[in-house]
Amino acid sequence: MDLKPIFGFIFLLIVVFLLAMYWFVPFNSGYFSITSSPSNFSLDNNSDMQFYSNMRFPESRISYRIEDCTLQKKEDIQRAFEFMEEKTILDFYSVPTNEEIYVTCSSKNVRNENFLVAGEGGPTKSIVAGKFVVIFEGQILLIKDSKCPEPLIAIHELLHVLGFNHSENRKNIMYPIISSTCNQELSSDMIDLINELYSIPSHSDLILKDISASLNRRYLDIEATIWNYGFKDAPSSILKIYGNGKEIKSIEVSSMEIGEGRSISLSNIFVSQLNLEELELEVEANFPELDKENNRVILEIKK
Last residue of a domain, one of 143, 168, 198: 198
For residue 92, give the nearest of 187, 142, 161 by alpha carbon: 161
Containing structural domain, residue 190: 55-198
Judge if 36 and 87 occupy the same domain.
no
Domain final residue pick, 145, 165, 198: 198
CA pair distance 242, 248, nearest whole angstrom: 5
99 and 219 in one domain? no
Distance of CA 168 to the CA centre of its chain: 31
- 240 and 284 Cβ atoms separated by less than 8 Å: yes
Asked if 222 and 213 count as a contact pair (C-beta separation under 8 A), the reply is yes
Tell me if 11 is assigned to some domain. no
Q: What is the pLDDT of residue 116?
A: 40
User: Are 185 and 207 found together in one domain?
Assistant: no
State the CATH number of the domain containing residue 293: 2.60.40.10
Whether residues 128 and 250 fall in one domain: no
Phi, psi (deg, nearest 5) at residue 186:
-80, 115
Residues 261 and 284 in one domain: yes
Looking at residue 9, its pLDDT comes to 59
Is position 7 within any domain?
no
Asked if residue 289 is part of any domain, the answer here is yes
**Residue ranges for the chain with pLDDT beneath 50:** 23-26, 40-41, 110-111, 113-119
| Whether residue 88 sits in one domain with residue 122 | yes
Distance from C-alpha of 74 to C-alpha of 52, rounded to nearest angstrom: 29
pLDDT digits 0-9 by tens, 190-244: 999 999 999 999 999 999 998 888 888 778 889 999 999 999 999 999 999 998 8
pLDDT of residue 181: 84
pLDDT at 117: 35
Residue-level pLDDT at 182? 87
Q: Is residue 162 part of a domain?
A: yes
Number of domains the chain contains: 2
- List of residues 6+ apart from 170 with CB closer than 8 A: 179, 184
**90 with 153, same domain?**
yes
Q: Of the candidates 174, 198, 222, which is a domain's last residue?
A: 198
Residue 277: what residue type?
E
